[in-house]
Chain A
Amino acid sequence: MKLASLLAQKKPQIVDRWIKLLYDSYPPQAAVFLKKEKDKFDNPVGYSIARGLDKIFTALVQEMETEQLLAALDEVVRIRALQDIPPSQALAFLFLLKNIVREELAEEFEKRNLAGELMELDSRIDGLVLLGFDAYTKRREKLCEIRINEVKNRVSGLLRKSGLSINSI
């Protein structure tokens, strides 16, 4: 696949642009901070987004297994699933990749006949979004699960005293 090698070559530019776009979707003051602070512990959201998008792109281009794609998606989705946003907004960043690829590889698309491969890539990004739904739902379910577990944990010593396992209720 010719496109695959082009994507691999252009990876730094594409991923960088993708990261910046996602940062820009935050309130202006937060976007400035996300871009500026490079320490991964002082800027955990910025760092995780950057690391996650890089992993997602790599997994997509290298045609990795679904499990690996899901793990890469989870890096970003578990943050987006918390941040005051409906699922449509939480996952919209995945579609941005289509435009970024088109813009970054505009010249190559003109020079070479890549229409078929581009269609194939679009279709894979669509698949990525569908997996994104899985990752998002899993995270929302996890939130419900930890809420329930915490309620149980508050009396876990008492349950143990009564001979009950926390998992049996």
Chain B
Amino acid sequence: MRLFFYAFMLLAAIVYTYMAFFDLSFLTNRGRMGPGFFPRFIGGFLVLCLVAAIIKEARLGKLLEKEPDGQMRDAAVLIGLAMTFGVLLVVTGYLIATPLFVGAALLYFNSKHLLMNGAITLAAPLTIYVLFGQVLNASLPHGLWW
């Protein structure tokens, strides 16, 4: 819903502006631009522009417009899975989180080809392990236990 997104942005902008005005000084003690100089302008303008955009959308009657249901559902499922993946990375590490996420996503979106899904689910963490861990020697999230 548009209203939700705009409300979230506006709230964030207000918090930002509040902090810019109350936590950060406008000028330094030498009278130069301080840490709060630009944030105050940025925050102030951001709030103004968001209010203007919300009014404009409201006039067009788009603010409360309902989503076409089917469209949003698949995107929402993917977003939900992605967030779960992020949390799982912290808790279980990539070796467990990756096949869980890939497996679940394929099961939902590609339910007709179970065999292929299984193969990809197993191959994904392995490829990541070899490519990132061995070839690139990059760090990977290891979870809470080791």
Partners in one complex: no
